[in-house]
Structure 1
Amino acid sequence: MDDNDRSIVGFVMVGHAMVHTYELSIPILMTIWLLEFSTTAAMLGVAATVGYGLFGIGALPGGLLVDRFGSRTLISACLAGMGLSFLALSLASGVVGVTIALALWGIAASIYHPAGLTLISNGVEERGRGFAYHGMAGNVGIAGGPLLTAVLLLAFDWRVAAAILAVPALLAAVIGMRIQFDPTAAVEVTDGGRTREIPTSLAEFGSETRRLFTLGFLLVFVVVAFNGLYYRGVLTFLPDLLGDFLTAAVGDVRPGFFDPDSPVAAEFDLSQYLYAALLSVGIGGQYLGGRLTDAIEPDRGLIIMLSLLTVIALLFVPAAQAGLWGLLVISFILGFVLFAMQPLTQATIAKYSRPESRGFSFGYTYLAIFGIGALGAAIVGTTLTYASVSALFVVLASFSALGGLFAVALVTRS
């Protein structure tokens, strides 16, 4: 990579890691809010759905803003907006305040993916390596966000922890506006100097959407939407569920090097570290999913992974109740398979979309996975409040099973 490539890739790696750090810090904080505000999982599920929903819904208008104002400006605005939203979160006095702060985060974060992917596509000559490093940084944020939040909660009140989390994004926003790079350095190299015109009116937008949504792409859209429901539903409340299962398996565990009466010992929650470990295992799943895209047709790979997710959901509660080892094994398998889906999903989207509409298709993908998928938090939260944990995992299994059936229809149609 030359200096321009390194500058761009470094910038988007920071942005991608920050987006997912905040995204996955929210479930950790929710375990505190359940007690802090004496609320229900259903209410917090709705609050999370608002933020996560806007995170997905904003991807399409975010893409149009990128074409109007440029990736650098939009990524910096995204970083600043996320930082300010977490400062607002630190001041929230109840569930309404939390919901407003999460909504602000969702609006700001929704800009990132179309902006970051556009910047890599147009500015990085070694595009493949750029996307690879970009994805790795996102995985670091996915695994590191819960871990960092859990560590901060050992030493600080959750409000102080949220304020501290805001600082890196605000600093990155300032640096992003000052760093030097050419955002279009690779356009002529990779695209023959041609750039694709974007819709400039609602009529053109509708026409482009109709061209994109062939029957094949429509089936892909439905499959990834069900996967998004599963993804958001299981990850949002998993820290709290893991805490219950761990307590049943091994009791209340505190490391021996903590004073039992110290504030640190009082805040220590082993389930938060198990949650971070589960997400770290997902990095290996990403690698396997990427290798599978070279070995089999990606849409057939989706059938395999969705079938595995269905089995995992149905076995999770019996395995977790069997003891500590059962809980650890089923948790790590879940983390591995859940993230192995992602490369297969992206490859399937590319297979069923036209090259000149690839960016547009990925915009709709984020709408499905993060927008429609955000409803998973509300559905799971409501199930957890009014039914049982076993019913919750049956609901998750239904998401993946339905997604798998549509994936079968996709392959059969092909």
Structure 2
Amino acid sequence: MSPLAISFDDVLAAADIVAGQVLRTPLMPAPRLSALTGARVFVKHENMQVTGSFKERGATVKLTGLTEDERRRGTIAMSAGNHAQAVAYHAKRLGIPATIVMPETTPLVKVENTRAHGARVVLFGETLYESAAHAREIAEAEGLVFVHPYDDPAVMAGQGTIALEMLADEPDLDVLVVPIGGGGLCSGIATGAKGVKPGIEIIGVEAALYPSFHNAITGEDKPIGGPTLAEGIAVKTVGTLTLPIVRSLVSDILLVDEAEIEHAVYAYATLQRTMAEGAGAAGLAAMFSEPERFRGRTVGLVLCGGNIDARLLASVMVRELEREDRIISFRITSSDRPGLLGRITSRLGELGANILEVSHGRLFLDVPAKGVTIDLTVETRDADHTRAVLEALTADGLAPQRIDARGLSETAF
């Protein structure tokens, strides 16, 4: 059997390289997440790196190791955003020209941040696979050094330095929960962590829409693809160098759905007071999906990135408030008489509900000619307050009907 692509010694050597070039991010206790999950939770805040993600570690190790000729010719990388920003930032710092090929679907914030670091950005293709093929064509045509986002020993070893720092700060960690896309982060962390503490458990987490490692390891053929909040780990093809390490050192690959990822992004923002992109929140999402697996254990979460578009974050926050019944929409259908709207809004004020939106309609064909519909969106304190508001409106004879993603319900409850 051939040896694995990297060893513990490689991770130790990488730690010497990143020291002083990459931020040693804090491992922070998370008491509110601990209370929520029943585990003793610590969060490694890689979202505090200059470019907002762990990718700086692998990029620094790779770029530092280039020869003078390779530095002169320049580098090229393909990425959905975080690897792009990391390569662009550290290439500029080291005086190395950088070209980045990104999928056309990459969030604008990541594209603009990459350009701001001085890289030439080429938008090509719908997927990372298409971007990678185009990047290799450019590399061959222009003599550039290709910097792979995960399937490169230098990159993998660089990411593994996270594990060394986590266990140095909290030796009692008994499980690390790591987002996994192409496998560079997970394979590096597994190598580093097992070198320090052989008995520690490593668990990888994939978006359920992109179960690439799950399929590769279990032999299943779950469908791959679709729009996911965790675009940073939305990889269709696993690394050829990373797969043997993950298979050897990672105990399990958990799959998390989109609602769980959204809930984790929301929890990081409201409970940990920090920003997480979808991929960065995947580890916490796994704890939400299988709480009994982690209850009572000392868990290290890798918040691997915080580059989330502000509008997307706002949408996630509102959607979670809706799931918690703290923002609700409902319809009141009644005879059209003067003062009705004022009566309803005053009553909602008395009940402590904050009105966010009102739509007053007289033209729906399913409403009598002398009737009116009033659609309201209100904010409440919690689910119990919501129920009290709807019960009070029902007692007032207004018969509110909830409006949700499926449309108009028969009743308010």
Q: TM-score, normalised by structure 1?
A: 0.24
Q: Which has the higher strand share?
A: 2
Higher relative contact order (CA 8 A, sep 6+): 1
Q: Which has the higher helix share?
A: 1
Q: TM-score, normalised by structure 2?
A: 0.24
**Bigger-Rg structure (1/2):** 2
